[in-house]
Amino acid sequence: DGGITQSPKYLFRKEGQNVTLSCEQNLNHDAMYWYRQDPGQGLRLIYYSQIVNDFQKGDIAEGYSVSREKKESFPLTVTSAQKNPTAFYLCASSNGEGTEAFFGQGTRLTVV
């Protein structure tokens, strides 16, 4: 089945630790995205990538890093510099300019 897979679904980490969230897609989409959602809030763009080996900061990139070494993969690292990392993280992909994005099931990160 084609789709976007995020893992794990739930993740717990101690404060001060870096953590990497996985996102894989088999839709052959060029563009991939990471969003953060806090309770009762909309989606805020962290990073996006239009093509392999290229990515751009979104509105809240501080404390996060990404890589795009393969078309199908776009991992997100939440670093210890991110002050409030507890949130619901959503990965998405789209097929081209101005087209709709499809989402993975999300990773709920809790930092204690």
Residues of this chain, 8-37, that bind other proteins according to CB under 8 A: 31, 33, 35
Q: Which stretch binds other proteins (CB under 8 A): 15-23, 64-72, 77-85, 104-112?
A: 104-112
**Is 50 near other proteins (CB under 8 A)?**
yes
Q: Which residues contact 41 (CB under 8 A, 6 or more apart)?
A: none
Residue type, 29: H
Using left for φ > 0, alpha for ψ between -120 and 50, and beta otherwise, residue 26 falls in alpha
Given the complex with other proteins, which of 19 and 55 has the nearer CB atom? 55
Answer for which of 56, 70, 81, 110 binds other proteins (CB under 8 A) is 56
φ/ψ of 111, rounded to 5, equals: -110, 125
Given the complex with other proteins, which of 47 and 111 has the nearer CB atom? 47
Given the complex with other proteins, which of 17 and 26 has the nearer CB atom? 26
Q: Which residues contact 52 (CB under 8 A, 6 or more apart)?
A: 68, 69, 70, 71
**Is 54 near other proteins (CB under 8 A)?**
no
Residue type, 50: Q
Which residues make up the interface to other proteins (CB under 8 A)? 31, 33, 35, 41-45, 48, 50, 56, 58, 90, 92, 94, 97-106
